[in-house]
Amino acid sequence: MHSTRTILDTAAALKGGPGAEFDTAAASSAAAERGAAGGAEVAPDATARAAGGLKLCLFGAAPDTGNLGVSALCFATLAGLARVDPSVHVTVFDYTPGVRRDTTILAGKAFDFVRCGISETRLIYRRESLWNIRWSARLGGLASSRARALLAADAVLDISGGDSFADLYGEGVFRHVVKPKLLALELGRPLILLPQTYGPFKDAKLRQMASGIVRRANMAWARDEHSFNALRELVGEGFDPKRHRCGVDVAFGLELGSRTQHCCRGLRVVTERDRPLSAYLRGLSTEQRSGRHRTRAKRNNHPACRLNSEPVKVPISPRDRFVPLRS
């Protein structure tokens, strides 16, 4: 909660324009104001103006990767932002083509946000192409709602999937992770790195690139003490305790319910007597029948996929909205 409020206050303080420096007084003023206040293409920037709140873009937490941990980061981040400032407008960049509105339930209330598909496709004429977005932004967002959303953003948030700001997974993955950060910096948008890990880096060239990004970011958060030490090493002499902070993993912001937990779209974690039951996802396979995805558990290897001796359907597709459970 504290780190989320600080992030929002920082975004409000940076609202003045590109390249703005973090201003403690402005952030404090924003905090005071916040406390007092208590399929077809859509235009995220227009929605943001109508909402009247802070406009934020979120990268590195796409809810459609099939990785439920990354999806959890997305919805935990949305929950934290909505909890502190319900008027905030968030555009989540994912990998599904198109720009569409979406809604999730947070603290029993509906929270609306926008999802924009992006891709590293070489077909630069496609609207989701990063190259298309980049050049459209240089032309003032011409014919690209994604570019306009970035240009209108008060801040760009990036969480790198929690642990992918490193060359641990190869140079290709590293470059894929840093492209949105470089795009935000190129467009002069305030960049805030949400709580995540930093490194390890084996390649000196990639480490230098990561160091440059962290130095230029308006704020960078680590999710634990070990990651914070790695962050300090990356920043070096440019370390600033006001901008480089240690927080906690945003997954701790997931809301728990007495019966079920809606930690991400399409996933309900069954609980019994308020204690979570494990669900082993390894080994689950997907069958496509009549155009619909269905999941099946290999019961001999996954007894936890049964509740009171009855099978429990565990979705692995983000499109599976609810898990049918028997009370």
User: Taking the model in full, what pTM does it have?
Assistant: 0.71
pLDDT tens per residue, range 5-40: 777 777 776 665 444 444 444 444 444 444 444 434
What six digits make up the tokens of 239?
């370390």
Contact 194/250 with Cβ under 8 angstroms?
A: yes
Q: Answer yes or no: do 55 and 169 share one domain.
A: yes
What is the number of structural domains in the chain?
2
Q: Which pLDDT score is estimated for 43?
A: 52
Q: Answer yes or no: do 17 and 147 share one domain.
A: yes
Q: Answer yes or no: do 178 and 284 share one domain.
A: no
Structural domain containing residue 246: 2-253
Q: Is the dihedral of CA 72, 170, 198, 239 positive or negative?
A: negative
Q: Answer yes or no: do 290 and 181 share one domain.
A: no
> Which of 225, 253, 281 corresponds to the end of one domain?
253
What six digits make up the tokens of 23?
């201003």
Identify whether 323 is part of a domain: no
Which contiguous run of DSSP H or E holds residue 194? strand 191-196
Q: Answer yes or no: do 236 and 295 share one domain.
A: no
Q: Answer yes or no: do 154 and 292 share one domain.
A: no
Phi then psi for residue 263, to 5 deg, are -85, -20
CATH number at residue 120: 3.40.50
Q: Answer yes or no: do 21 and 86 share one domain.
A: yes
Instruction: Work out the average pLDDT over 242-262.
Output: 72
pLDDT tens per residue, range 121-156: 989 899 999 999 999 999 999 889 999 999 999 999
CA dist., res. 211 & res. 221, Å (int) = 14
Identify whether 321 is part of a domain: no
Q: Answer yes or no: do 143 and 274 share one domain.
A: no
Q: Answer yes or no: do 283 and 188 share one domain.
A: no
Q: Answer yes or no: do 275 and 245 share one domain.
A: no
> What is the band of 44 on the pLDDT scale with cuts at 50, 70, 90?
low
